[in-house]
A = this chain, B = another copy of it.
Amino acid sequence: MPKPTLVDVGREAGVSAITVSRALRSPEKVSETLRAKVEIAVKKLGYVPNQSASTLASNKSSSIVVMVPSISNNVFTDVLGGISDALHGSRFNMQIGYTNYDSQEEERILRSFLNPTPSGVIISGLEQTDETRQMLENAGVPVVQIMDISPKPIDMIVGFSHDQAAETATQHLIDSGYKNIGFIGAQMDPRSLKRLAGFKKAISDNGELREQCIAVTNKPSNVRLGATLLDKLTSQFPECDAVFCNNDDLSVGVLFECQRRGIKVPEELGICGFNDLGISSETVPSITSVTTPLREIGRLAGAMVIGEEGAPSTPIVDLSYTISARESTKRT
């Protein structure tokens, strides 16, 4: 038997199709008895609404488009989890696009996702192409940029300042007594570059910035890369006594490499990571990291994009970060 339609349900319940539609979409607008009859008919026939037809007829889909650079990056799985939380129980579902850190790809994917128009868009970062921004503005739906912060978002934005977070973390290393601080970074996307900028600012403000204190790569980040980059850093910058890492994969990798090479942490080398992904607090010694509100970003973005009550009333939400000072920077 073919899938039942609204007409079938109507026939079963002895009412017209449109009444069934109403009973399902706005139960408060139909009488109690009728609502009950419809419910029974729906159950009996196993009726499930056809999304496409609904979207086509009403010209609005119930999906929230989420654009992230990567799925394998733990940072974004946390954010997606937050969005998922916010959308759970609402009538909206999530449609995820992976841009692979490529603005052109982002534009391409988003273009196809915007027809039919979704109910809202959540998009990572500030670096959309002009075309993309144009599309988003024309779409006439709520748009929430996430991860970063800016005074002029496309529509709304929730995130935090990567420069400031990195600057504060670097200052923490300086305050802990380290003199020759290096920077290790992978996957140098725009937010990573901002972290580098924040690092440079803190160093410059406290003395002289030397180019050899920076070891970065554009490869995707992983634990092993932390070891590789520490090698590179210590060979080009032997007097290095602390490292600020772009993210926690790297900082963990650095710690392990220190253990292998017999470098004492925090005495001979201080280590600070970024994002505080859960393992940093568990290693021995535990690793200082910048705790960022990833899940909260997702949750707020979700709430904002669907206009949920309880969502922030301002379109710009600058969340705080905290330095979780741990053993890896505790020089006595």
Contacts and interface: CB of A to CB of B under 8 A. Distances in A.
Contacts of A114: 48
Contacts of A61: 52
A95 to B, nearest CB: 7
Contacts of A48: 111-112, 114-115
A101 interface: no
B84 A78 contact: no
A227 interface: yes
A50 interface: yes
Nearest to A261: B284
A138 to B, nearest CB: 9
A185 interface: no
Interface in A275-294: 278-279, 281-284
A222 interface: yes
A292 to B, nearest CB: 16
Number of copies: 2
A321 interface: no
A81 interface: yes
Contacts of A115: 3, 48-51
A20 to B, nearest CB: 15
Contacts of A281: 224
Given A50-B116, A71-B77, A80-B71, A256 B278 contact: no
A259 interface: yes
A98 interface: yes
A266 to B, nearest CB: 16
A187 to B, nearest CB: 15
Contacts of A224: 278, 281-282
Interface string A85-107: 00000000011101000000000
- Max count, chain B CB within 10 A of own CB: residue among A53, A222, A282: A282
6 contacts: A3-B115, A50-B56, A50-B116, A52-B116, A94-B96, A227-B282
Interface of A: 3, 48-53, 55-56, 61, 71-72, 74, 77-78, 80-81, 84, 94-96, 98, 111-112, 114-116, 222-224, 227, 252-253, 256, 259-260, 278-279, 281-284
Given A3-B115, A52-B61, A260-B284, 19 more contacts: A48-B111, A49-B115, A50-B116, A51-B112, A51-B116, A52-B55, A52-B56, A53-B56, A56-B56, A71-B77, A72-B81, A77-B77, A222-B278, A223-B278, A223-B282, A224-B278, A227-B282, A256-B284, A259-B284
Of all A-B residue pairs in the complex, the 9 with the closest CB atoms, nearest first, are A259-B284, A52-B55, A48-B115, A52-B56, A52-B52, A223-B282, A52-B116, A72-B81, A223-B279
